[in-house]
Amino acid sequence: MSWSWNLLAAGVMLVWGAAVAAVLLACRGAIGRACRAPVFRRPILVLESDDWGAGPLSQAQALQQIAAILARHRDGAGRHPVMSLALVLAVPDGPTIAAGGAYRRVELDAPPLASILAALKDGLARHVFSLQLHGHEHFWPPALVASTDPAVVGWLRRAPPAVTEQLPSHLQSRWVDASRLPSAPLPAAEVRSAVDAEVAAYRRIVGEPPAVVVPPTFVWTRDVERAWAAAGIEFVVTPGWRSTQRNAKGLPDGDEGPIVNGDRADGLTYLVRTDYFEPARGRDAAYALHALSKAVAEGQPCILENHRDNFILDAEQCRRSLEELDALCAAALRQHPELRFLSTVELGRILRSGDPQWIVQSWRERLPFFWQRLHHSGRLWKLMRLTGLAALGTVLVATFGRQAAAPTAGTAS
């Protein structure tokens, strides 16, 4: 080869090397997350549903129907699917507020709400429910008391049980003062006493302290996390980041993160929801199964988000949602025979311990899952294909990757 051809080849290699370095540098965050998140040996499905507890009495029947559907199915270890229910512990005591002006609450163990609490405890006893904390209320009471919106003033004074889904979205956030927008942060001391009160209420109502919290509307701050940790909470469910405020339009904002499964701070371990199972919003069993298959390919647990409004606001919608839940459980087991159903707290404890019965340890066994995560990364994967990194990586993964050893774990602790 002539001198000029050598020079040309060296030039091409130099340009290619610079392009590869630029891609790796620009996408180091996404690559780091793909590396950091643990790889699971078998398919995991966690069903989470929020907003249950204090509220409409129609929840009691819906909970019984959900429990009956879940009890029809069992995974290979003989366990039923578990719905991890995030509980709201109180609604406003409207007539008392109307009479005195100050905020008063009706809690979930008050006699008028007894049928809901009984349905929750029945599902616990049947091992189809697991309970976790959502909030004492699904709002910050002083923000509602300060509101001059006639609809909010009326909502706060109506006879219980009120339906929090009817509040303006920004006022459904508990851990900021959204009485004015953009929202203001809450004083740390007020956060601490509110967390202590809600953890004490949960312990009294449920009979054991909460281990998992799901921040209402996913707006919360590090101050709130420190208070949760001090009160004994172990796990925080997230959408992959932390929104710290409501902006001038009332939307979640001030995002911090990203967060991946198993990340930790101040003694708390984070979990990250994968996708949705919300039949009322078109995210039905087929949609959820697609999310499950993608998570399985990536060695990620599939944590699906759901809300009570799929089941309690409309009888026909409730029937459809129950059918979709039944279809989801059946097809998940059919498509992934090795699948295990876990509650959120069980998954959290596996993540925190790094249990090798569940989590792949060897880098060679992790490699094919890491590669799938990059494959699903959107912009990064496009750049990798453009630069030839995808082709080169495929050869390397085929050479060095190993299939993960067959799991021996059957049940969660």
Please identify, using beta-carbon distances, which residue of 307 and 373 lies nearer to Zn ion.
Answer: 307
Please identify, using beta-carbon distances, which residue of 40 and 218 lies nearer to Zn ion.
Answer: 218
Which residue in 48, 51, 284, 309 binds Zn ion (CB under 5 A)? 51
Per-residue binding letters, 206-245, with Zn ion (x by CB under 5 A): ----------x-----------------------------
- State the minimum distance, in angstroms, from the CB of residue 217 to Zn ion: 6
Closest residue to Zn ion: CB criterion: 50
Are 407 and 365 in contact, with CB atoms under 8 Å apart?
Answer: no
- State the minimum distance, in angstroms, from the CB of residue 316 to Zn ion: 23
Please identify, using beta-carbon distances, which residue of 50 and 93 lies nearer to Zn ion.
Answer: 50
Given the rule CB under 5 A, which of 32-40, 48-56, 235-243, 275-283 is the region that contacts Zn ion?
A: 48-56
Which residue in 40, 42, 49, 50 binds Zn ion (CB under 5 A)? 50
What is the CA angle 204-205-207, rounded to 5? 65
Beta bridge partners of 395: none
What is the DSSP pairing of strand 235-238 with strand 83-88? unpaired
Please identify, using beta-carbon distances, which residue of 215 and 368 lies nearer to Zn ion.
Answer: 215
What lies within 8 Å, CB to CB, of 230 at 6+ separation is 192, 195
Angle formed by the axes of helices 3-26 and 379-387, nearest 10° = 170
Given the rule CB under 5 A, which of 14-22, 45-53, 70-78, 396-404 is the region that contacts Zn ion?
A: 45-53
Task: Return d(Cα 35, Cα 233) in angstroms, integer.
Answer: 27
Please identify, using beta-carbon distances, which residue of 48 and 50 lies nearer to Zn ion.
Answer: 50
Ramachandran category for residue 131: left, alpha or beta (phi over 0 → left; psi -120 to 50 → alpha) = beta
Q: Which amino acid is at 196?
A: D
Residue 305 engages Zn ion in binding (rule: CB under 5 A) = no
Task: Return d(Cα 184, Cα 11) in angstroms, integer.
Answer: 56
**339: closest CA among 81, 63, 35?**
81
Total chain residues near Zn ion (CB under 5 A)? 3
| Interface ranges with Zn ion (CB under 5 A) | 50-51, 216
